[in-house]
Amino acid sequence: GLNSPLHSVSYSGTWGAQCFLPLDKIVTKAAEFGYDGIEIAAKRPHASPLDLDIESRKRLKDSIESKGLEIACIAAYNDFADPHPFIREMNLLQLRETIHLAYDLGAKLVRVFASGMGNMHAGATFDEQWAWVCENLTKAAKYAEDQAIVLGLQNHSPIMHSYKNVLQMIKEVGSDSLKAVIDAPLLFMAGESVTEAVKEAGNLIVHSHTGPSDYVWGPGPLDHTIGGLRRVYTLRTFPLGKGNTNYKAFVNSLKEVGYNGFLSYEICGPVPGGGDEENLDKWAKDALVYMRGLLE
């Protein structure tokens, strides 16, 4: 059935006062809280391929296995839409190193982006950026195939702001090593139906994330340029199941299409109560209770 891993980015010190914990501590926490596995951010400060030699990879793999956890996913942070060819090349190199890291850790899946997590690049059209992403994902899928790894393209803006774009890109790349990571909060943000998205993506879905973030359209501090349109939304934070994202319908749809993978919890922004360890622990524990209820 469906399983719940904890995403290491939840304790990465990324957002304001969010506390930083080293990866081995997070692995211990995930096991103590009762999570089924762990998702690992393949960048500093957690698991940059630059920082993990063969020995430390082996230690990490053994430590995770000894606690009865599985590595659900290795999260890459590539941007294949930068107008500068050399920067795209460096991103491809970084992703290839991340695929090797996944292989060394015994992970089967690497989450990929189209173009990072920021706004669309200025200085190139949507179609140009789409073509660069397609070209580089095609190359990356070949590297992944050689290592028996699957890449999961997330419905994360820019460029992949719609799950339909994810499915179209997978079709254009045409490799069995490129599948879909579909997240319910991002479907809500795009104004898309969670049930339709899951039905349409079907057996292409290899991974999914949950989290406390809800995106509400309207005047707010964040904006993304999407396909040439500037759309503005406010980021709001709720305990799982209390926000606008319909996780119940989402999980039911996943069950209907026979999805058997992971539903990873990530604290990917500031949460009420602050970023100290004790509060983040509370959010992570409460989320697991809610998810267990849904998954049973």
Containing H/E element for 218?
strand 213-226
**Does the structure show a pLDDT above 70 at 221?**
no
Q: What is the pLDDT of residue 89?
A: 99
Say how far apart CA 251 and CA 294 lie, in whole Å. 7
Average pLDDT (137-148) is 99
pLDDT at 228 over 60: no
pLDDT over threshold 70, residue 230: no
Q: Domains (ranges, CATH) in the chain?
A: 5-295 (3.20.20.150)
Q: What is the mean pLDDT of residues 157-182?
A: 98
**Average pLDDT over every residue of 70-94:** 99
Phi, psi of 207 (to 5 degrees): -165, 160
Q: Which tens digits make up the pLDDT trace of 113-129?
A: 999 998 899 999 999 99
- Output the CA–CA distances (angstroms, integers) from residue 189 to 161, 181, 201, 241, 246, in the order listed: 9, 15, 18, 16, 12
What pLDDT is attached to residue 236? 87
pLDDT tens sequence across 236-259: 899 999 999 999 999 999 999 999
What was the pLDDT predicted at 227?
A: 53
Instruction: Using the predicted structure, report yes or no on whether residue 68 has a pLDDT greater than 90.
Output: yes
Residue 229's pLDDT is 56
Asked if the model's pLDDT at residue 220 lies above 60, the reply is no
Which pLDDT value is given to residue 224? 59
pLDDT of residue 168: 99
Its pTM surpasses 0.85: yes
| Number of residues that this document lists for the chain | 296
Specify the pLDDT at position 63. Answer: 98
Residue 207 — very low, low, confident or very high, per pLDDT cuts 50/70/90?
A: very high
Average pLDDT, the chain: 95
